[in-house]
Amino acid sequence: MTSTRDPHSFAKPDEVVVTHLHLDVTVDFEKQQLGGTATLTLNNKTGSNKLFLDTRDLTIERVTLGKEGPETPSLLGDVVQFLGQALTIDITPQTKEVTIAYHTNPNAAALQWLEPSQTAGGKKPYLFTQSQAILARTWVPCQDGPGVRMTYSARVKTRSDLMAVMSATNPTVKTEDGVYEFSMPQPIPSYLLALAVGDLAFKSTGPRSGVYAEPSMVDKAAWELEDTEKMIEAAESLYGPYRWDRYDVIVLPPSFPFGGMENPRLTFATPTILAGDRSLVSLVAHELAHSWSGNLVTNATWNDFWLNEGFTVYFEHRIMEQVYGRTYAEMLAQLSMQDLQATINDLGSTHPDTHLKLNLGGRDPDEGMTDIAYNKGYFFLRLIEEAVGREKWDAFLKSYFDAFAFKTMTTEGFISYLRENLIRGNKNLEEKIPIDRWVSGPGLPEGAPEVRSGEFGRVEEQLNAWKNGAVAGTLATKDWTTHHWLHFLRNLPSELSPEQMADLDEAFGFSRSGNSEILAAWFPHVIAHSYQPGYTALEKFLMGVGRRKFLKALYTKLAETPEGLERARQIYRKARPGYHSVSYSTIDAILKWEQR
């Protein structure tokens, strides 16, 4: 265990650490407010008289010692940008529990309160949370840093026509009275606290897996995610037992700002993964992989974010390879390299945010959550695999997850474990794996793994034929999957005539695609070439989908020209109220949007 100071938390877990949380809250859709009590169980290591917690936009009503003991003085500190306010509570060295009566603010950043019109059913409201990275403190007073772990239990009361689910043991049917009880017996960091409330139904997909979704979507979701059990088995065969009992997925309304979020026992997912052909399920492999990399062995601070995401992308690709084959996984790897190169280009190849180990002190940790952690992290681990061979590498990773299960890890801690257990002073390996250059140096180091997918070679042949004048409709694309199309779209020439745009769209129906990834790869061309027939679909997409990755890329592209910026602002004015705060904070900055 480490005692690194977390630059994004007011807590002092070295002195007093919270070991268990009991949440007793009522979900009030009318007031858009979550209110009740949080009882924290303490381990006072140093006999301290103060407990420091993180809060942001919370109203603290009363703090008592024990469950219903005497009231104790508490103080909310000054507001600090991004971090919120420290809550300082007077305790004694003997205090075992404190109970905080509180309620949230309607614009709590972690919470999105949806109108019925933003759901598939259109009749009932919906609430979901997004706690990562430092938003748990906007709905629960807690020690909100990834270096602190606690178990939790909860009692949630809501309308009796809705179901509540959490990152914990979950119901599969609605209760009569709208009261739900939860428990999470494994210790987790606060960023994995999660709650969703809505008109939900459940459908099983395997012995320990299933999906939650609105009733009209649950069959479609269960069909799409049918391979979940196979993925769990593949993951276990690689890196050891799945330690969280069940693995379920909830398919949320389209305003969910991420593709997926690895909330333990219950991955939160965007409905845009429901492509109808199972082609986007690597997202489930990714979130499932976090059950080891991230949820079991957790980055100590957000500066070590690559330990969560880089390992997870690596593990995701291994699961995909095992379930769907090497050819499939190599397409994913080459797309990862393209993403990485694009991000390094955007940031600049000497930018400190292109280091794996980040320095996010004084900034919103969101700023460090770029493709660097994901894909530079992935290629670093792949480099090690290629240098030592799969057999040794897999044994090492398995022992790493085992040795540090339910603990936190720093970048430095991982490197010394790597040196001690795998490199062991071997000069040849030291040379092949320039650790410092990858971890503390910029850009993509020389000698990075090279990926050449044969399938993408076939795509390039067809692309070249088209560039040389072949009509789109005559290209050999019959057996192409989503990933072939992504490679095709990403590698189209930057200059395209109106006739060429129309030729492509008429032959392949990109603007009509029901696949979010294909649309998101097509729209940049639509924008760059002012291709009018594509704009209706673009506007519909921006109005309907809240996934930040897509919105960020498309609004940025629109903002490149004055006309585009004007169009972006018009769309955004209508779309913004439907986005989650995580997404609109990012887009506000891109469009220089002032609340008006």
Active-site residue list = 287, 374
258 counts as binding ligand BES under rule CB under 6 A: yes
* Nearest residue (CB) to ligand BES, 162 versus 281: 281
How far is 13 from 143, CA to CA, in rounded Å? 8
Give the distance from CA 242 to its chain's centroid: 20
Interface characters, 277-316, with Zn ion (x: CB under 5 A): --------------------------------x--x----
Give the nearest distance from C-beta 92 to ligand BES in angstroms. 37
Least distance in angstroms from the C-beta of 549 to ligand BES:
5
Regarding 290 and contact with ligand BES (CB under 6 A), the answer is: yes
Residue with Cβ nearer ligand BES (133 or 266): 133
Nearest to 149 by CA among 24, 297, 36: 297
Tell me whether residue 12 or residue 580 sits nearer to Zn ion (CB atom). 580
DSSP conformation letters of 317-334: HHHHHHHH-HHHHHHHHH
Asked if 287 touches ligand BES (CB under 6 A), the answer is yes
Which residue, 305 or 488, is less far from Zn ion as judged by CB?
305
Q: Does 288 bind ligand BES (CB under 6 A)?
A: no
Min. distance of Cβ 365 from ligand BES in angstroms? 8
Q: What H or E segment, with its residue span, contains residue 75?
A: strand 74-76
Look at residue 534 and give the partner it binds from ligand BES, Zn ion, none, a contact being a CB closer than 5 to 8 Å depending on partner kind: none
Assess 210 for contact with ligand BES (CB under 6 A).
no
Shortest distance, position 457 Cβ to ligand BES, whole Å: 25
517 binds ligand BES (CB under 6 A): no
If you ran DSSP here, which 8-state letter would residue 596 be given? -
Residue nearest to ligand BES (CB): 259
Amino acid symbol at 152: Y
247 binds, among ligand BES, Zn ion, none (CB under 5 to 8 A by kind): none
Q: Which is nearer to ligand BES, 286 or 484 (CB)?
A: 286
DSSP 518: H
The closest of 270, 244, 276 to 256, measured between CA atoms, is: 270
Q: Does position 260 bind ligand BES by CB under 6 A? A: yes
Query: From CA 282, how far away is CA 196, in angstroms rounded?
Result: 23
Please state, in angstroms and rounded to a whole number, the distance separating the CA atoms of residues 174 and 9. Answer: 37
Give dist(CA 586, CA 70) in Å, integer.
Answer: 43
Please write down the long-range contacts of 320-323, taking CB distance under 8 Å and 24 or more positions apart.
320/282, 320/285, 322/234, 322/237, 322/238, 323/227, 323/230, 323/231, 323/234, 323/285
Q: Report residue 260: phi and psi, to 5°.
A: -150, 160
CB of 367 to Zn ion, least distance (A): 17
Region near ligand BES per CB under 6 A, out of 212-220, 279-287, 405-413, 463-471:
279-287
Total site size for ligand BES, rule CB under 6 A: 14
> Going by C-beta distance under 8 Å and a sequence separation of 6 or more, which residues neighbour residue 325?
none
Q: Examine residue 262 and tell whether it contacts ligand BES (CB under 6 A).
A: yes
Report in angstroms how near the CB of residue 12 gets to Zn ion at its nearest: 29
**Token representation of residue 23:** 């949440």
Q: Which does 141 bind (CB under 5 to 8 A by kind): ligand BES, Zn ion, none?
A: none
The distance of closest approach from Cβ of residue 547 to ligand BES in the complex, given in angstroms and rounded to an integer, is: 7
Binding mask 332-371 for ligand BES (x = CB under 6 A): -------------------------------------x--
Per DSSP, the three-state class of 11 is coil
Per CB under 6 A, the list member of 25, 34, 133, 266 interacting with ligand BES is 133
Task: Tell me whether residue 281 is exposed, middle or buried, using C-beta atoms within 10 angstroms of its C-beta: 0 to 12, 13 to 18, 19 or more.
Answer: buried
Contact partner at residue 136 from Zn ion, ligand BES, none, CB < 5 to 8 Å by partner kind: none
CA 116 to chain centroid, in Å, comes to 25
Question: C-alpha 405: how far from its chain's center?
Answer: 21
With contact defined as beta carbons under 8 Å apart, do 567 and 557 qualify?
Answer: no
Q: How far is the CB of 453 from Zn ion (least distance, A)?
A: 22
Query: Beta strand 179-188 with 150-157: parallel, antiparallel or unpaired?
Result: antiparallel
Exactly one of 55, 99, 132, 516 binds ligand BES (CB under 6 A); which one? Answer: 132
Q: Are 297 and 405 in contact (CB under 8 A)?
A: yes
Residues that bind ligand BES in the complex, under the rule CB under 6 A: 132-133, 258-262, 283, 286-287, 290, 309, 369, 549
List of residues contacting Zn ion (CB under 5 A) = 309, 312
